[in-house]
Amino acid sequence: MSYGKRVLFETLREESFSFTAATYKAFGDPLSNSCRQIRFTNEMDEPMYISFDGTNNVERVATNSYVLWDFCSNKVNDGGFFLGKETQIYIKNASGAPTSGVFYATVVYGKGDN
């Protein structure tokens, strides 16, 4: 049986430690597709916060770690739970300003998602 879904990736979002600030900054472009999975990787020497409204913290990513959100990878149709198209990601320093490293976001979507 074929379900007609292919795994596709948006362009990697990444910023160096010098990009970050004590207030939220937009992290890359808004999502171009409905996101099925997203992984945030923090290779900086300080923890980072993530927000989707630029105000409220929704996740803290520890130093030299990652967070993986899997919304609906086992779904076989377009219904289900997604991080919506056009969602903007924001990041900010969770404590002190980092002095080295990079922060990444890997976005996975499926062909045909809205």
pLDDT in tens, 40-82: 999 999 999 999 999 999 999 999 999 999 987 666 666 667 8
Q: 18 φ, ψ to 5°?
A: -70, -15
- What pLDDT is stored for residue 55 in this prediction? 97
Q: pTM of whole model > 0.75?
A: yes
7 within 8 A of 73, measured Cβ to Cβ: no
> Residue 37 is which amino acid?
Q
Distance from CA of residue 2 to its chain's centroid?
29
Domain ranges in the chain?
7-110
**pLDDT digits 0-9 by tens, 71-92:** 876 666 666 678 889 999 999 9
Architecture of domain 7-110: Sandwich (2.60)
Residue of 73 and 24 predicted with greater confidence: 24
Whether residue 13 has pLDDT greater than 50: yes
Question: What's phi and psi for 65, nearest 5 deg?
Answer: -145, -175
DSSP letter at 88? P
Mean pLDDT throughout 13-27?
A: 95
Contact 64, 46 (CB under 8 A): no
Residues whose CB is less than 8 angstroms from the CB of residue 37 and which lie 6 or more positions away in sequence, other chains included: 68, 69, 70, 71, 73, 107, 108
pLDDT, residue 71, reads 85
